[in-house]
Amino acid sequence: MRRYNCKYPGCPATIDHPGYCTKHRKVRADKEQERHRATIDRLNSLDHPGKELYYTAEWRRLRARIIAEHPYCTDCGGSDYLQVDHIVPHRGDPLIFFDPAVLVVRCDECHKRISMERLRNARRKQ
């Protein structure tokens, strides 16, 4: 069986799969989580119209219904860490915010990727 070196810089461990050893897999995941939290904090600090709508019971019920109807990510087909995303920017308008026709289910990874693309595109337009 082929052995691989851990990808973590300076780690002498050899493992039976490409990537990180058990010790450094957790370190890498923690760093990714920290980067993700920083990104979310930065996005939440922006003036986001309608942010308060995400904390309503109506949104929680709608979100649960949408995920129950579509239990897989529309982009990759995954079923882990599903989120409901607005494909049309609601800009705080409750009629758009609560419209099921403008909602899609995405896994966390696809949602982050698409949100970052939207943010980059918005910055380019400014």
- Model-wide pTM > 0.85: no
44 pLDDT tier (thresholds 50, 70, 90): low
Beta-strand relationship, 103-107 and 82-86:
antiparallel
Full domain range(s) for residue 121: 48-126
Average pLDDT taken over every residue of the chain? 87
Q: Compute the average pLDDT of residues 26-30.
A: 81
| Residues 78, 53 share a domain | yes
| Residues 115, 60 share a domain | yes
